[in-house]
Chain A
């Protein structure tokens, strides 16, 4: 049982309940899964009680356990609040890996893993269409200092993000390439607990990047970035031979990109911290600096932002198996954004963007939804 590695931490859970609410911040619950399903077993304290029962032999993995463990966006809000500073996400992943080994992955989520295995992306789209969004083929497979790692969702579903990142890097004069044989970063494999699948995906991508000669890799998708920065070195057992960073980290607070001043954008902008980028990687300021660099933009904050931000409810592919949870939480977050009076909601994650577009459609709202790099591209 992989979970047994964490026995010490599991026994350390004090059951304080910080993981349910912002104990000193208000009544609002911080865990999307607990918000929707209510029973403690869907929150972190409950999952730790389940983990304790599993390592003590008082409970076996079964479909009930799987249903609760996979109803987690891995937003990290529980870990951020944890009184005992426990590595809760690692513990959830160990449980997922155990469940996957026992073939207990909920059927809808298991389909995600199978799609990645078959097509190299979780959407089951043809490999040949992965670069269909690109303005040309000149940058594909070329030698360059920088690689733009596109990611599956920008490549197939939210192509504006892929194009935005491409345009901004081009305008900034960055010498960059696109990988001809980029495959899924492996994040969906981890989401379902398939460590071997994740390792294979990491191996393929790292080999392709090494072959390109790049010294740095830029990401527009924070899930892919987190995968490379946090997981791939562990999966492959060696440090990455290149630097990885988010597009907004590369751009910083330049008010001019490629020598051209950014165009004025008279917008009231609210930024949603994606969980992977914020709590996951600690990148809170870079996207804000990039937004603030655009003349005319007035940035406002939601009640919950930064490390205390609330998840859009769609992380870790939960939409595939837990749609009511995704919908309830994306609407809650959407309402927080709209309450700021902003006319433009920016995020830096394609999954968040999909969630907010869904909420916008249902609300019939005029508030625009874009990714930071998409928006920057309009100002170049």
Chain B
């Protein structure tokens, strides 16, 4: 059977882009997160939409489950199962069009997000959410498919907000283009053209409804000025209030709050706020002064903002804690069963308090299993906060891994109920804890899945329990 699958796929993409060798397949299992995953039976690497369509059509005809992945840099579990076809998109990495007049870029799904940004930066432009929400070498298709929460979310919003159009291969192999791109005579300039927002269901749905093959994304000029501030607070509730005030005034492009985990190097306090302002010079100056005033009115103490600047420019998490990546990351076999989601700005204080209580209750267990808290941090969005609770376990210790997984479940259950949190990132690790709580919304997603993917071939088990489907 496996030979037949590999042979059929090789006929579509060429034998050099298909492998059923064990040594190749084992490399397409786990992602950056802690979740163990299955081993695909075949790996296939298409280069074009037409090839993706042919592969999906074949899989659908043969009722063969198929998982899609870009760079697999999610922490939330892509949920690959044993025996599936693994379709990897990174050969589809062309940046096909940069149109500064229409303020858009057209890229194949496997183009590296930061790479697109780098191409744009050469001419003074950047993606609508610069730096991307995904991490590391994420692809644009993957980042949109998970609707990652980006840097700059306070002003720029979510990754999905800047999608102008998508090209998607449906589970039948049919290819659909959304928004104004649906009209072959038109340009991909407006997501909301031609009726219903057909891009929406594919954004954040982890490829369970279709495979994104092209993304048309909004671009913007790089602002002329970037200013950075960093504040320490002796009470986390003051930091939350300050951030809420800044949000209300539109005084910052990006706010990152630190409410747990190690204190930034050389700093004292209970919570910390990184402030990034990007704008024309005069406006940036006015906004940053407003942010300063708000922080100081909430008893914030201004501190050196070099770490803030590095974090914005390099997108390296360690800088949030004033630490260069080298000493922070090197040689540490720790993995992170992350729980993350949206809360209202004012609800954030309650969510932080809830986690602090949970942690205090488990002090001895944390010690026994060597669990560390890497961070209880928040990206402030336009009207709320994306809070992520990162615990770390030692990958070498099976008991620690098991406890880390159990801890993630407990945190997720309580945060999604008592903490009033709605996850931004789902993935295989988190979705079982939240999807059943969504009632008719979950039912609607299941109905859409049944309608679009009647044979259940795309990313089965991810977001939607296979039995419930």
- Tell me the complex Cα distance, A21–B138, Å: 10
> Which of B25-33, B147-155, B434-442 contacts the other chain?
B25-33
Stretch at the interface among A9-17, A198-206, A269-277, A279-287: A9-17
Contact check, B115 vs A27: say whether CB atoms are below 8 A apart. yes
Known A26-B115, A46-B27; contact A12-B137, beta-carbon cutoff 8 A: no
A86 CB within 8 Å of chain B: yes
Contact (Cβ within 8 A) A27 B93: yes
Chain A residues 1 to 55 lying within 8 A of chain B, measured CB to CB, are 7-9, 11-12, 14-18, 20-28, 37-41, 45-46, 49-50, 53
Partner of B136, one of A23, A26, A49, A65: A23
Q: Which chain A residues lie closer than 8 Å to B332 at the CB level?
A: 12, 84
- State the majority secondary structure of interface residues on A: loop
Q: Which residues of B contact A85 (CB under 8 A)?
A: 325-326, 329-331
| Proximity string of chain B (283-323) to chain A, C-beta cutoff 8 Å, 1 when within and 0 when not | 00000000000000000000000000000001100000000
Q: Is the CB of A17 within 8 A of B71?
A: yes
Which of A8, A9, A17: most chain B CB closer than 10 A? A17
Determine whether A236 belongs to the interface, using a CB cutoff of 8 Å to chain B. Answer: no
User: In the assembly, what is the distance between CA of A83 and CA of B329, in Å?
Assistant: 7
Question: Interface size on A (CB < 8 Å)?
Answer: 39
The verdict on A101 contacting chain B, using a C-beta distance below 8 Å, is no
A333 within 8 A of partner (CB)? no
Whether a CB of chain A sits under 8 angstroms from the CB of B339 is no
Contact B28 A16 (CB under 8 A): no
- For this complex, 14 residue pairs linking A to B, each with C-beta atoms less than 8 Å apart, are A15-B73, A16-B135, A17-B71, A18-B137, A24-B117, A26-B119, A28-B115, A38-B45, A39-B43, A41-B21, A46-B24, A64-B23, A85-B330, A86-B331
Chain A residues with CB below 8 A from B31, complex form = 15
Known pairs A20-B137, A23-B114, A83-B136 / 10 extra A-B pairs, C-beta < 8 Å:
A11-B395, A18-B137, A24-B118, A25-B114, A25-B115, A26-B118, A39-B19, A65-B23, A84-B329, A85-B325
Q: How many residues of B contact A (CB 8 A)?
A: 47
Interface pair A16/B136, CB less than 8 Å apart: yes
Known A-B contacts A25-B115, A40-B27; A20 and B22 likewise in contact (beta carbons under 8 Å): no
Question: Does any Cβ of B come within 8 Å of A339's Cβ?
Answer: no
- How long is the Cα–Cα vector from A20 to B329 in the complex, in angstroms? 19
Does residue A58 face the partner (Cβ distance < 8 Å to B)? yes
- Would you give the shortest CB distance from B137 to chain A, in whole angstroms? 4
Within 8 Å by CB of A39, from B27, B93, B315, B396, lies B27
The answer for the CA separation of A83 and B324 in the assembled complex, in Å, is 11
B333 and A21 contact, CB distance less than 8 A: no
A211 at the interface (CB under 8 A from B): no
Q: A16-B136, A17-B137, A26-B115 are in contact. Are A41 and B331 (CB under 8 A)?
A: no
Whether B136 contacts A17 by the Cβ 8 Å rule is: yes
Residues of chain A contacted by B115 (CB below 8 angstroms): 21-23, 25-28
Contacts of B19 in A (CB 8 A): 39
In the bound complex, how far is the Cα of B22 from the Cα of A83, in angstroms?
Answer: 27
CB distance from B155 to the nearest CB of A (A): 21
Decide yes or no whether B72 CB sits under 8 A from chain A: yes
Residues of A close to B135: CB separation below 8 A: 16
B112 in contact with A12 (CB, 8 Å): no
Shortest distance from the beta carbon of A85 to any chain B beta carbon, whole Å: 4
B432, chain A: closest CB distance, angstroms: 22
Q: Which residue of chain B lies nearest to A39 when distances are taken between CB atoms in the complex? A: B24
Contact call A17/B27, Cβ cutoff below 8 A: no
Q: Cβ of B45: which chain A residues have Cβ within 8 Å of it?
A: 38-39
What distance in Å separates the Cβ of A311 from its nearest Cβ neighbour in chain B? 19
* Given contacts A27-B111, A41-B24, A84-B332, A16 and B119 within 8 Å (CB-CB): no
Q: Does B467 touch A at the CB level, under 8 Å?
A: no
A45 CA / B28 CA spacing, docked (Å) = 10
In the complex, A83 Cα to B136 Cα: how many Å?
9
Q: Closest 5 A-B residue pairs measured CB to CB?
A: A85-B330, A11-B333, A40-B27, A17-B137, A46-B27
> Roughly how many angstroms separate A105 CA and B135 CA in the complex, as a whole number?
37
Contact A15 B32 (CB under 8 A): yes
Q: Does A118 contact B (CB under 8 A)?
A: no
Of the candidates B16, B27, B137, B331, the one whose C-beta lies within 8 Å of that of A21 is B137
Choose from A8, A28, A49 the contact partner of B333 (Cβ within 8 Å): A8
- Are A59 and B333 in contact, CB atoms less than 8 angstroms apart? no
| Min distance, Cβ B316 to any Cβ of chain A, angstroms | 9
Complexed CA–CA distance, A219 and B72 (Å): 43
Contact with B along A131-168 (1 / 0, CB 8 A): 00000000000000000000000000000000000000
Task: Give Cα A38–Cα B43 distance, bound, in whole angstroms.
Answer: 11
